[in-house]
Amino acid sequence: MDLLNTLVDKGLRRETPTRGEALAVLATSDDDLLDVVAAAGKVRRHWFGRRVKLNYLVNLKSGLCPEDCSYCSQRLGSGADILKYTWLKPDEASKAAAAGLAGGAKRVCLVASGRGPTDRDVDRVSDTIRAIKEQNGGVEVCACLGLLSDGQAERLREAGADAYNHNLNTSESTYGDITTTHTYADRVDTVQKAHAAGLSACSGLIAGMGESDEDLVDVVFALRELDPDSVPVNFLIPFEGTPLAKEWNLTPQRCLRILAMVRFVCPDVEVRIAGGREVHLRTMQPLALHLANSIFLGDYLTSEGQAGRADLEMIADAGFEVEGTDRVTLPEHRTGGGCGAHDDGGGCGAHEGGGCGSHGGGVCGPAPSGAGSCAGAAEESAPRTDEPRTDLVAVRRRGAGTDLAPNA
User: Could you tell me which of 127, 61, 140 has the C-alpha nearest to residue 97?
Assistant: 140
Residues 6+ apart with CB under 8 A from 27: 213
Question: What is the per-residue DSSP string for 159-185?
Answer: HT--EEE---BS-GGGHHHH-SSS-HH
Which one is catalytic: 107, 157, 254, 272?
272
- DSSP three-state, residue 54: strand
Active site residue 272: yes
Which one is catalytic: 142, 255, 339, 348?
142
DSSP state of 401: T
Q: With contact defined as beta carbons under 8 Å apart, do 207 and 281 qualify?
A: no
Q: How far apart are CA 192 and CA 385, in angstroms?
A: 40
User: Could you tell me which of 298, 300, 288 has the C-alpha nearest to residue 106?
Assistant: 298
Other CB atoms within a 10 A radius of the CB of residue 198 amount to 17
Q: How far apart are CA 6 and CA 24, in angstroms?
A: 12
Q: With contact defined as beta carbons under 8 Å apart, do 74 and 82 qualify?
A: yes
Which one is catalytic: 44, 69, 224, 396?
69
Active site residue 356: no
Q: How far is CA 9 from CA 2, 42, 62, 185, 230, in A?
A: 11, 10, 44, 33, 22
- 375, with CB counted inside 10 A (0-12, 13-18, 19+), is exposed
Which one is catalytic: 107, 124, 144, 202?
202
What end-to-end distance do the CA atoms of the chain give, in Å? 41
- 403, with CB counted inside 10 A (0-12, 13-18, 19+), is exposed
Other CB atoms within a 10 A radius of the CB of residue 160 amount to 16
* Strand 270-273, strand 321-322: pairing: unpaired
Active site residue 266: no
Residue 254 amino acid letter: R
Which one is catalytic: 44, 75, 107, 109?
109
Which one is catalytic: 44, 72, 144, 187?
72
Q: How far apart are CA 8 and CA 144, in angstroms?
A: 33
Active site residue 374: no
Q: How far apart are CA 93 and CA 80, in angstroms?
A: 24
Q: With contact defined as beta carbons under 8 Å apart, do 181 and 147 qualify?
A: no
Q: How far apart are CA 69 and CA 55, in angstroms?
A: 24
Residues acting as catalytic residues: 65, 69, 72, 109, 142, 202, 272
